[in-house]
Structure 1
Amino acid sequence: MASCCPADLSAVPLVALNMTIRKKLSLYLNPRTMVAADWTMVAEAMGFSYLEIVNYQQVPNPTKRVLDDWQASSSEATVGKLLSILEEVERNDVVEDLRPLMEEDVRKYYESLKKRAVRPLQVPEVDSCIPRTPQGSGLTLEDNPDGSPELFDAFICYCKSDITFVHEMIRELEQTDHRLKLCVFDRNVLPGSCVWTITSELIEKRCKRMVVVISDEYIESDACDFQTKFALSLSPGARTKRLIPVVYKSMTKQFPRILSFLTVCDYTNPYTQTWFWERLAKALSLP
């Protein structure tokens, strides 16, 4: 089982650490003491400014907030880098106590990715279940029988309640001179396979980018949360401009912090609505 955990933790994104580890880190680092480095020194080592750190003092759990924002905004946000920062600020007690738990989280994270990426093999004895298309094909409507996968310009992450806007997106981006190809799950994906496996393969291997349709309903959706975090783990710090958040209606809930570092395409702003589709299409057309 240990082989599932890479030796180089500096290559493991921080998203691999679950909430239990983050809670334990908060218990160690939240208390302000004179004898040991606290979360403020960790935040400073992560590159946060003085003003940012002062503002973090106002939140109930500053350690958790710092970890979440660092994960969302920095390409250096890895498990290995976190451990090196803890050693740098001389919190070896935290490293000694939590490193085994972190390595276990990393092992589970990579096992989970492997399960989502690899489709189960058919049992040879069940002749009627022998797949008629090669592994990895037969997921979408236009997958070719010869095994050539259907590719897309963007995966659309949305809630069922936002489907009307998704239809408008299809009209504006696919059925105009832009001629983009969007992956809309309810339209393009064939039924009968594991949702998580299909989603992971589409986001990672079939789609150049992902458009995230932000709404109050999106914030409550477990499926959208998984899709967003999975896409972010593929491009820490948005180095490849992989995610594009879109807001198309007013919201009563707070905009998700995990996406707050990205430039938003805002359909609700009447002053920029004229350029909305052109800007979005251009972003999706980039190599």
Structure 2
Amino acid sequence: MAAFDGKGAIDFDNIPVAALNVDVRNRLGLYLNPRNVVAADWTALAEETDLSYLEIRNYEKYENPTRKILDDWPSRCSDATVGRLLNILAKIERQDIVEDLRPSIEKDCMKYLTRRPPSEKPVQVYEVDSCFPRTPENNGITILDDPLGNIPETFDAFICYCQNDIEFVHEMIRQLEQTQYKLKLCVFDRDVLPGTCVWTISSELIENRCKRMVVVISDDYLESEECDFQTKFALSLSPGARSKRLIPVKYKTMKKKFPNILRFLTLCDYTNPCTKSWFWSRLAKALSLP
């Protein structure tokens, strides 16, 4: 691996991004972390390093998403080099960052080349360096999945709920799974294996494993970021509710305003005493549709 190009300059394409020290990574964060409507921010960097929309959403929880992306990049892709980073910054039109940090970047690269003997070959493990998934993470995600991942388990409905509404979810299980309806519900706390990424697994279940999604509406639901994400993701899969994919359920009176994003959908209202007697049969019929 050449350390310098033919003109004696540093060959950044052959220097891993791991050569950049903490100071440079933090300074990159100062430029890119603030969400910016004028200049490209960290989300543009994330897209250029081949992160998906859902993975980018997951990085929002970090105080310094730019540094976290740079830390994780080498384990996902084989082209995580300083040269690739500089090309990305130029592509997203953040040449201001390149000009400001270039002396520090060159200094770190020279330190890396000094520490590392020129003849040393980098350790290359395909499963680690490849941009492809290292494990079939979307295969074994529920307790009912085949351990070998050959036959992914499917469900009639994904139940979107917050923890404070879990008692009603138990009632839903009794009424829809343990009666003549024999429906199969996907209840995250019961069916999803621990240790998985909430955002990625939720989207996989909603899009590919479940025919419908039931949204349990309550005041607590309105405060849940996870429920908000699941609802918006399901709506994006069925614009205008053409496939009747999302079914809102209101099971108790609310102090807060019903979410506007769901107002155009037909509601199953458990709080109405006049319609409560046929609530479960109506919901079961909706979930049984092909």
Q: Which band: TM-score by shorter chain?
A: 0.5 to 0.7
Counting aligned pairs with the same residue, the percent is 69
| Partner Cα distance (2:127, 2:211) in 1 | 38
Is the contact made by 2:219 and 2:256 (CA closer than 8 Å) also made in structure 1?
yes
Describe how 1:224-235 pairs up with structure 2 within 5 A. 224-235=227-238
SS in structure 2 opposite 1:170? helix
Partner of 1:178: 181
Alpha-carbon deviation of 1:146? 3.5
SS in structure 2 opposite 1:216? coil
Cα offsets for 1:205-246 (capped at 9, x unmatched): 000000000000000100000000000011111110000000
| Partner Cα distance (1:160, 1:210) in 2 | 17
Is the contact made by 1:133 and 1:145 (CA closer than 8 Å) also made in structure 2?
no
Is the contact made by 2:55 and 2:200 (CA closer than 8 Å) also made in structure 1?
no
Alpha-carbon deviation of 1:193? 1.3
SS in structure 1 opposite 2:193? coil
Alpha-carbon deviation of 1:111? 3.3
Partner of 1:72: none
Describe how 1:133-148 pairs up with structure 2 within 5 A. 134-147=136-149, 148=151
Is the contact made by 2:203 and 2:233 (CA closer than 8 Å) also made in structure 1?
yes
| Partner Cα distance (2:155, 2:265) in 1 | 22
Partner of 1:160: 163
Alpha-carbon deviation of 1:277? 0.2
Q: Which runs of 5+ in 2 are unaligned?
A: 1-34, 58-74, 78-124
SS in structure 1 opposite 2:183? coil
Describe how 1:231-250 pairs up with structure 2 within 5 A. 231-250=234-253
Q: Which has more radius of gyration?
A: 2
| Partner Cα distance (2:270, 2:192) in 1 | 27
Relative distance call for 1:205 and 1:121 in structure 2 (3 A) is: farther
| Partner Cα distance (1:141, 1:194) in 2 | 15
Alpha-carbon deviation of 1:154? 0.3
Relative distance call for 1:121 and 1:132 in structure 2 (3 A) is: closer
| Partner Cα distance (2:213, 2:253) in 1 | 21
Is the contact made by 1:133 and 1:146 (CA closer than 8 Å) also made in structure 2?
no
| Partner Cα distance (1:163, 1:156) in 2 | 10
Paired letter, 2:268: C
Describe how 1:1-287 pairs up with structure 2 within 5 A. 111-113=52-54, 134-147=136-149, 148-287=151-290
Q: Which runs of 5+ in 1 are unaligned?
A: 1-19, 25-99
Displacement over 4 Å in runs of 4+: 113-116, 120-126, 131-135
The normalised TM-score by structure 1 is 0.57
Select the structure with the greater relative contact order (CA < 8 A; seq sep ≥ 6): 1
Relative distance call for 1:222 and 1:132 in structure 2 (3 A) is: closer
Relative distance call for 1:235 and 1:160 in structure 2 (3 A) is: same
Aligned length: 185
Partner of 2:121: none
| Partner Cα distance (1:259, 1:279) in 2 | 19
Aligned alpha-carbon RMSD (Å)? 3.6
| Partner Cα distance (2:53, 2:127) in 1 | 28
Cα offsets for 1:236-283 (capped at 9, x unmatched): 111100000000000000000000000000000000000000000000
Paired letter, 1:186: D
| Partner Cα distance (2:263, 2:183) in 1 | 26
Is the contact made by 1:209 and 1:284 (CA closer than 8 Å) also made in structure 2?
yes
Alpha-carbon deviation of 1:137? 1.1
| Partner Cα distance (1:172, 1:132) in 2 | 40
Cα offsets for 1:19-60 (capped at 9, x unmatched): x99x99xxxxxxxxxxxxxxxxxxxxxxxxxxxxxxxxxxxx
Is the contact made by 2:269 and 2:276 (CA closer than 8 Å) also made in structure 1?
yes
Alpha-carbon deviation of 1:132? 11
Paired letter, 2:53: S
